[in-house]
Amino acid sequence: NPWNTEHFMLDFMGLFYIIFSFFKLLDLKGFPQSFRMYDPLAKVIPAYGWIYPFIEVALGLMFLMRFQIDIALIATLLVLGITTVGVTKTLLDKKSIQCACLGTALNLPMTKATFIENTIMIVMAVIMLFKTSAL
């Protein structure tokens, strides 16, 4: 079987979401508060912080099961685009806050790695949208 970049990207994005959501679900009480500290939408709509881990589970399953991939890619751009704006603002303001990216079970600081991870996912989603719309 030849190397398939598209399958790799879909699997990577699916596993990324599943793994990250798992850590968020470990502390479903603490995650929304931590997430609200930097996610612009969670600041305005606190319920978004509660449903965010479940959005990640759904998107992860959609990518892994190859279900409605265009919808999952567009949702990825929206969800991670919003979060990346908040991450960027936090980094530019040089605020030292906990990153809720792996939930609150692991006390990780917000770093450039968070920005890079989100950016990689956004770039992959854009590439895949162009590939799927070109078919």
What are the structural domain ranges in the chain? 5-134
Tens of pLDDT, residue by residue over 33-92, are 989 999 999 999 999 999 999 999 999 999 999 999 999 999 999 999 999 999 899 888
Tens of pLDDT, residue by residue over 12-33, are 999 999 999 998 898 888 899 9
**pLDDT of amino acid 135:** 46
Q: How far apart are CA 105 and CA 11, in angstroms?
A: 25
Instruction: At 123, list the tokens.
Output: 């770039």
pTM over 0.95: no
For residue 123, give every residue at least 6 positions away whose Cβ sits within 8 Å of its Cβ, in sequence order, or none. Answer: none
